[in-house]
Structure 1
Amino acid sequence: MTEGTTTAAGTDRSAADRAVEKVFREEHGRLLASLVSRFGDLDLAEEVAAEAVEAALRHWPVDGVPRRPGAWLLTTARRRAVDRLRRDRTYAARLAVLGVDADRSAPAPPADADRDLPDERLQLFFTCTHPALPADARGALVLRCLAGLTTPEVARAQLASETTTAQRIVRAKKKIREARIPFRVPGPDELPQRLPGVLQVLYSLFTEGYAASGGPRLQRSDLAEEAIRLTRLLRGLLPGEREVTGLLALMLLVHARRAARTGPDGALVLMADQDRGRWDRPMIEEGLALVPPALVPGPPGPYAVQAAIAALHDEAPDVPGTDWPQIVALYDVLSALAPSPVVALNRAVAVAMRDGPGAGLELLDALAEEPRLRRHHPYPAARAELLARLGRRAEAAAAYRAALALAGTEPERDHLRRRLREVGG
């Protein structure tokens, strides 16, 4: 049977393939979390989830897409896991050591189970962000396992090499297994200490959705919306934690601009050129309402400060009318709370808007030796823009070329090519 043909069940093969991809993208994290909850082994969960997808690619074109495709994948994956445990003494012994109830004689759930996938992703977030894991591995593991990103995508999101990223993921999973890290939401006394790691992972997931690290699209709204949904869940769990509120406010205020960030053809639209009438006003209002309780009482956290910066952008009528002095002041606060090369980069751009391109370029040039920025295409792109504004076209062209070599998505590369042509590159 060739691609694009109609099966006896009336399902177009290419449509079935698209359905598998869509369900796997949307339900990957929930599927994996449910399997880990049931069998207690992340490697086993990933393997049987992949086998379930392979089975769907074989059966759905023939039998039709099931009414509950996520539940179909879960049922199939569970059956594969049970079969694996029945015949694989290594897996059985490992799960016995972990103390996991993996009742190998229990029948698999019925194939026509009419229930949605259980949502145990929050537990998996806390498992993958356990303090026993290295900080860089936590984000890599969650982006890989819950968001379903490929290893190259995770590497770009973390500004790391693919080899390093793959090693982080493997080591993190091994640590979870060997240290018997529990699959659960921590108790109330432990939650405040565990919270920063979870927030960082949620923010990383949102960032990948807001500005994809690679591929044909600038944005992956499904990931951004998933991060927002999980942050809402976390705020419900910890309503008094101001940084959770700050992170949710930040996500809403930034995600509200999504419709205006690309043109009809998917091309990148810079903020100065965006139609602010297309910004999501109800989402902005929701985010603005969360900023004050995130900032006070007491000293604000980094996410609350970033939310305040995003609020100033969303409230401004246009780029010239933005309160750049206040934004620079907030970046000064953020630099004290959470210093990083990326924060310094963003502050330099804000200074350029306040004091002129020369002042911003001086700050950017001072960051030239920062290792993280050497793989971060917004850094040479920002230098190129300021050099172009100063009339230094040859230097701007060189900076645009450097940014073009690092950019991960086609819309970003297309934008940089246009700017390169405009400066005579």
Structure 2
Amino acid sequence: MTPWPPAPHDTPFPVENLPYGVFSAADGRPRIGVAIGDHVLEVGPVARSRGLSFADLLFGSTLNPLMAAGPGTWRAARAEITSWLTDPAHRAAVEPHLLRRDAVTSHLPFEVADYVDFYSSEHHATNVGRIFRPGSEPLTPNWRHLPIGYHGRAGTVIVSGTPVARPAGQRKGPSDPAPAFGPSTRLDIEAEVGFVVGVPSDLGRPVPVSGFRDHVFGVCLVNDWSARDIQAWETVPLGPFLGKSFATSVSPWVVPLEALEPARVPPPVRDPAVLPYLDDAGESWALDLALEIRINGHVVSRPPFAPMYWTGAQQLAHLTVNGASLRTGDLYASGTVSGPERDQRGCLLELTWSGTEPLEFPDGTRRTFLEDGDEVTITATAPGPGGVRLGLGEVTGRVMPSPAGPPERR
């Protein structure tokens, strides 16, 4: 019989977490659930049996209707589900709808409306500046004044576990006389944290920093796959395009913002002072998340999220300050998460210093950038109430050969 509550104390998915996802069992029908311990609870049938007003939002193949309902419904649903999984009086109604997580298939948890990626780690931006502009100021003049970002491709956001084909495109090295076409030889990862928008906003009405919790439903993990050679050639004078748009992987579980309240910490000192619309004094959403990156099972980095210069609330304020509207299902990501130490860097570009310092694994293999067959897994945890750790799940992807053929090594 399943223990009650159905989660050991040391699980990344205790009752204090309850992340939402979409899964299917043997019948292949997608349904909404929450992760609890080693199980997933299909929440719709239990909500309907209790005659809850929001029960219909918990049926279907996407979280979008629930996300659009707003904070009042989010809090009510979370409180209800918590009571089901802690009060033994609900056990008989709940237990038939618990399934082992290792026996189900995860799906993309929400329909992605738009995707925006930021560049908000000072350590990452500084390292990248030193790699590409040695001897010059590593940060661009605007970096400490605004959260830099670019618009990505919503249609290529994929759920964890989906294979990633090596992209092909134009490349031109510094000494090449002309560009050539072929598979990327510098395929990279970027470990990031994603914010999922629930409540839309009106065109022409900016969302203030204080509106973060009114619009953002929850948090997931992101791997923003990057073809560095394609990116380097195309990013003049505009921003990332084909070097980024081929795939962005997300974790299958969206942790409610409410669950991350215990993880809030003071933000880093901003110098110079930010403009008023970015001032988050008293409303900071810096989060004490601990990320871990593994390549083929080997831990290569443990980036800390707390030092990120720009928070999710500031990113949302900047994203909308020109009047751009939000839609349910918008996803925006933090940008690569890197810390001050070498083993805290969030991408291979930094970890290998643009390929000049290969990573060496315990099995004797070495990497500068990703090889076909490599599997990358990013995980993260956050502090919860009473000393528990909350897991954000994982985002995993395996590199598959390019349809254009094997890359020509240089």
Q: Which of the five TM-score ranges fits, normalised by the shorter chain?
A: under 0.3
Larger Rg: 1
Give the TM-score of the pair, scaled to structure 2: 0.20
More helix as a share of residues: 1
Give the TM-score of the pair, scaled to structure 1: 0.20
More strand as a share of residues: 2
